[in-house]
Amino acid sequence: MKGWFVTGTDTGVGKTRVSCALLDALTVAGVPAVGMKPVASGCEPSAAGPRNADAEALRAASSVRADYADVNPYAFPAATAPHLAALATGVTIDIAHVCRSYARLTGLAPCVVVEGIGGWLVPISRSQTMADVAAALGLPVILVVGVRLGAINHALLTAREIRTCGLKLVAWVANRIDPDPILDDYVPALGHLLDLPLLGSFPYDPAAAKAGSQSFLDLSQLGFADPAEKSSY
């Protein structure tokens, strides 16, 4: 069983795009995988309850069918910081509840891709953050860097804090969210400064055809290099 917690340098840097691409890459490699968005703010009402676009995208990219409630145990209507969104609905986020949903997902597929919310230290209550969720799940972390001005500082701060939390930062992904050619130098600079395996480098592509995005990822960086390991699934 393998799982990863996908965090980012900020909100809107490509965590969902990369998480879905990772699910696709695993599927193409013949490895069943399911996505999870433990806490989401910004949800639309539906007959079945609030629904979040990220959670729906991860569910659609998963190769197994999972209950929405397990993919996204906390879904808040307001598109704001999750602890404020939780406060507005009178809900307390219980990390043990997230862990139970995660455990059910691990029963469906050998790989789980968990997308965080916002950046690494986003609070989920007055005393806890999403970092506590990642720690409780015991997952290695993948850092998505939204390549734009300021990204180097954000990436280094985030990497330092992940390690300070005692979590294993296993890889990073460069996601070009700004087409400015001045940023061409950022990816090699970040590679040097982060000193981490590069799982993938996504070009600037606002239209982002869904099919094929998995080709930007190198699964060997996550330990899938050995064909014998793949065939064990």
Interface positions, 4-43, toward ligand ATP (CB under 6 A): 8, 11-17
Q: Is 72 in the site for ligand ATP (CB under 6 A)?
A: no
Question: In terms of residues, how long is the chain?
Answer: 233
Q: Looking at beta carbons only, is 30 or 210 nearer to ligand ATP? A: 210
Q: Looking at beta carbons only, is 2 or 37 nearer to ligand ATP? A: 37
Question: What letters, b where the CB count within 10 A reaches 16 and e where it falls short, cover 35-60?
Answer: bbbbbbbbbeeeeeebbbebbbbbbe
Residue 205's binding partner out of Mg ion, ligand ATP, none, with CB under 5 to 8 Å set by partner kind: ligand ATP
166, 169, 175, 180: CA torsion to nearest 10: 70
The count of residues interacting with ligand ATP (CB under 6 A) is 18
Q: Least Å distance between CB 230 and ligand ATP?
A: 27
Q: Least Å distance between CB 52 and Mg ion?
A: 9
> Cα separation of 11 and 5, whole Å?
15
Residue 13's binding partner out of ligand ATP, Mg ion, none, with CB under 5 to 8 Å set by partner kind: ligand ATP
Spell out where the chain has E strands: 2-8, 33-36, 39-41, 43-44, 51-52, 74-76, 111-115, 141-146, 169-175, 198-202
**Are the beta carbons of 34 and 62 closer than 8 angstroms?**
yes
State yes or no: is 37 an active-site residue.
Answer: yes
> Cα separation of 64 and 228, whole Å?
22
Residues 6+ apart with CB under 8 A from 91: 74, 76
Q: Looking at beta carbons only, is 3 or 14 nearer to ligand ATP? A: 14
Q: Least Å distance between CB 108 and ligand ATP?
A: 22
Pick the catalytic residue from 37, 168, 210, 230: 37
Q: Least Å distance between CB 116 and ligand ATP?
A: 8
By the criterion CB under 6 A, which residues form the site for ligand ATP?
8, 11-17, 54, 118, 175-177, 202, 204-206, 208
Q: Which are the catalytic amino acids? A: 37
